[in-house]
A and B are shown apart, each in its own frame.
Chain A
Amino acid sequence: MIVGLFTRFERAIDDGIGRRKLGYAVLGLVIVFFLWFPNDTSQSNYAKTVFISGFFYAIMSSSWALLAGIAGQFSFGHMAFMGIGAYVAGLIARDGLMFASLGIAITPDSISSVGAIVIGTVAAGLVGLVIGWLLLRLRAAYLALFTIAFSELFRIAMLTEYDYTGGSNGLSLRPLLQVADVDTARQIEYYLMFGLLIACLLVMYRVVHSPIGIFLRAMREDEDAASALGVNVVRYKILVFVFTSMIVGLAGAIFYSDVGSERIIPEQLEVLQMSLIIAYAVIGGMESLIGAAAGAFISRYLLEAMREVVITLPFGLTMADGSDAFVWETGAWRFALFGLVMVFTLRYMRNGLLYPIINWFSGRDLIMKETVAKRKPDGDDLALAEDRDE
């Protein structure tokens, strides 16, 4: 029986479809693990909190991967859009909203937490629409600089308007859940954030694997060529900005509604935080939603786990204080190590550390073998190879 299973496995890895099925099976197991995790009674609420934070950053990085890695819009404005979602949701729930000329009046009593989150999400999308339109003619470094300026502008506005936003103390959003028991609350928050991550990934996956996804990638490769092939670049550029802005606006509004954190602070909107989102996506693989999400989750987890590194000394050696372990409080060094991983990734594995795994499961290397096998044996391709210009 074991031999039979082994043979089937061997066949599966020789076949692209088999590998993809295997990939889905592994993905299924990962999902089962995450569903089971909060039910493990040995796990503390702190561990669940780390996971919740990991899910949030996975949404941030994967949606940035869609915007920058797949659509080619290298934006630094992602955290600002997240902040817009959170701040608008918080301010609406606290102060309400009045459009006298339109006869619209939303009072704090009349709006629920969910309603505030929806308005925060829509607000992030609307700002994304404006920014997307302003960015139409900007590419590469100019686009990045513009979005950095926009992010800083927003952060400073939130920091300065102390009376409304709480300044550096931050803004508390109305809690989304009203559960008295801390353990139960943490469990529900865990599933809420995990569910949101899965939902966002599914929606983004659908987009990437639709004609829109093909147009976005064409736009990333060469805007002029894409346009000459009939792609309305303006429309898709704005669309991807609005779409990803809404995703992160929603994630921010939910996460800071006391699900992952009890308040949004301007410090969260700093360029450094945005750089971390980018770094997570680059390490995981910025052209892959799953890669970027996994990169973010694993990085967050490791950064948390590396706060204190304990190394047990061998051969009966002891420290000066008599302990048999060396304890290293890593402090900011863990970020330095993280930077080192990023440098390695950019230099040697530009598609991300997870790319070889994703590549293997997708059967991409088999396609390359297939192409070589299909080449005509009469030397035609040898002639073509001479023609190669790079």
Chain B
Amino acid sequence: MSEINLELNRIAKRFGGNQAVDHVSFSVTKPQLIGMIGPNGAGKTTLTNLMSGMLKPSSGTIYLNGRRIDGRAPYDVTRAGLGRTFQITRALNRMTVMENMLVPGLAHDPGARQADLEARARQILSLLTIDHLTNEFSRALSGGQRKLLELGRLLMLDPSVIILDEPFAGVHPRLQETIYNYIHRVHEDGKAIILISHNMGAVFELSQRLIVLNFGALIADGDPQQVKNDPAVIDAYLGHDEDD
């Protein structure tokens, strides 16, 4: 099991007058399954972009396994051990499924033999039930299959922390089951997973810990059942009565 120590200290991001992420702090120190929820515009994707190096924070620091990663290039963050998927799937369209798998494999382990990486990629694709598409261009894949491919690419990186941004969005129920199995399997392998989803059923079923964002600020962090009954969370999701 690899080391896990992700620490966000008062991370903030401002776009003009919009405080997209408002001094968020939390840490992940064990292979937990963490749900991250919040209404649209709560700052979930911005926070993901900050953690993965896609955006530079306005202030605050992020450490991963003792190494400061805020403001670093995404490839550097990935190599430090943090992998992510995208809300809108970003398959490398004019490359085959196998080549899509080889990109992270070769980037993560430049000295590896390509044949070994291909063998590993086939195992992962088999786990994800898309091994029959190995030599197909990824543009020919369905939306759900692309989601699976993105998940597969992450495993080639062998990160210690994985952020899954809306993995169930627009996915056929049968493929959702495969994604469920993937999340369990990866978690059992000793990785921390941050699951961002609007699918509350899935989040509550899978998460051991729940982080809730609203207007860029962290409003709750703890056991899912407790968080569910937190008045601030109920207020954020259901709104409050004008008379209150």
User: Chain A: residues with CB nearer than 8 A to chain B?
Assistant: 211, 214-215, 217-218, 220-222, 224-234, 287, 367-368, 370-371, 374-376, 380, 383-390
Q: Does B197 contact A (CB under 8 A)?
A: no
Q: Which of B86-94, B187-195, B203-211, B234-242 contacts A (4 or more CB under 8 A)?
A: B86-94
Q: Which of B12-20, B98-106, B214-222 contacts A (4 or more CB under 8 A)?
A: B98-106
Residue of A nearest to B83 (CB): A228
* A221 and B95 in contact, given A227-B74, A374-B132, A388-B142 (Cβ under 8 angstroms): yes
Partner of A225, one of B76, B86, B142, B144: B86
Partner of B175, one of A221, A224, A387: A387
* A232 and B73 in contact, given A221-B95, A386-B172 (Cβ under 8 angstroms): yes
CA distance A217 to B106 in the complex (A): 13
User: Chain B: residues with CB nearer than 8 A to chain A?
Assistant: 52-54, 73-76, 78-79, 83-84, 86, 90-95, 99, 102-104, 106-108, 110, 114, 132-133, 135-136, 142-145, 153, 157, 170-172, 174-175
Q: State whether B54 touches A224 (Cβ < 8 A).
A: yes
Shortest distance between the CB of A368 and any CB in chain B (Å)? 7
CA distance A367 to B98 in the complex (A): 13
Q: State whether B74 touches A211 (Cβ < 8 A).
A: no
CA distance A367 to B97 in the complex (A): 12
CA distance A376 to B92 in the complex (A): 25
Partner of A230, one of B78, B99, B133, B145: B78
Chain A residue contacts of B103, Cβ below 8 A: 214-215, 218, 226, 229-231
Partner of A367, one of B52, B53, B136: B136
Chain A residue contacts of B144, Cβ below 8 A: 384, 387
| New A-B contacts (13) at CB < 8 Å, excluding given A225-B86, A229-B153, A230-B78 | A211-B106, A214-B99, A221-B93, A221-B94, A222-B90, A228-B83, A230-B108, A232-B75, A370-B135, A371-B132, A371-B133, A387-B171, A390-B143
Q: State whether B136 touches A217 (Cβ < 8 A).
A: no
Chain B residue contacts of A229, Cβ below 8 A: 75, 78, 103-104, 107, 153, 157
A-B contact pairs, 16 of them (CB 8 A): A214-B102, A217-B95, A227-B75, A228-B74, A228-B75, A228-B90, A229-B78, A232-B73, A233-B73, A371-B136, A383-B174, A384-B142, A386-B172, A387-B171, A387-B172, A390-B143
